[in-house]
Amino acid sequence: MQLFYNTALNDGDNLFSFDKIESKHIVKVLRKKEGDKLHITNGRGHLFTAEILIANSTQCKASIIATEKRHPKMYRLHLAVAPTKSADRFEWFLEKVTEIGVHEITPILCDRSERKTLKMERLQKVIMSAMKQSLRTYLPKLNEPVSFAEFIAQDHKELLFIGHCEDEEKFNLKRCITADKDVTVLIGPEGDFTKKEIKEAYEKGFLPITLGESRLRTETAAIVAATAVELINSGS
């Protein structure tokens, strides 16, 4: 199944026009013609089945013939991750956690962060592409970057965890997670959180976790955490 995305589609819509870029892709690349079926999501859980009415490479028009509302999961996973020095590695992280099933991502700027700016429009496109590729109907929320202090000062009601490299007693993440419970995980930069940041997180209720015996890169740690939460909630 080829999945398209358009946030403007709503339950009850009957007709839909693809933009010029997607119209060209549908007609010239996929070789679709009048009467062929396509699938579209609005990123809010709806899966629309559409039938092409006009196969025009500049404006492909379709009729919505069926709508399915997929229910959201019983839990939410929020990853607060320090941007990596390499922009490519951060994009790879976004792609993979979207495929796994993250709900919300917040880039956090820490004392040892080597990257302070992000191309948010590009990152949003990476997430959208990964959602379509993995056939998911919910688009993860990507927040604007915030400082570490701002993030932990927010009113958090969910299970809170922080992954760091300090040599101290930590909890195994998989043994701390309860199915159907919201989870937030903090993952620091390549140089790790400072001791001051770790102490401040503890004071806000974040528990230290281990993700295994190996020391992991920032993006790898975030993917491992997302996988652990998904497996617990899927009963695997």
Strand partners, 141: 104
Alpha carbon distances (Å) from 57 to 15, 17, 50, 219, 227: 17, 11, 17, 39, 40
Tens place of pLDDT for every residue, the chain, 236 residues?
A: 889 999 989 888 999 999 899 999 999 999 999 999 999 999 999 999 999 999 999 999 999 999 999 999 999 999 999 999 999 999 999 999 999 999 999 999 999 999 999 999 999 999 999 999 999 999 999 999 999 999 999 999 999 999 999 999 999 999 999 999 999 999 999 999 999 999 999 999 999 999 988 889 999 999 999 999 999 998 76
| CATH code, residues 3-69 | 2.40.240.20
* Cβ contacts of 102 within 8 Å, gap of 6 or more: 77, 78, 79, 140, 226
| CATH code, residues 77-234 | 3.40.1280.10
Q: Where are the domains of the chain?
A: 3-69, 77-234
Q: How many CB atoms lie within 10 A of CB 155?
A: 4
Three-state SS letters, 137-161: CECCEECCCEEHHHHHCCCCCCEEE
pTM of the prediction? 0.93
Q: How many distinct helices (H) and strands (E) make up the chain?
A: 7, 13
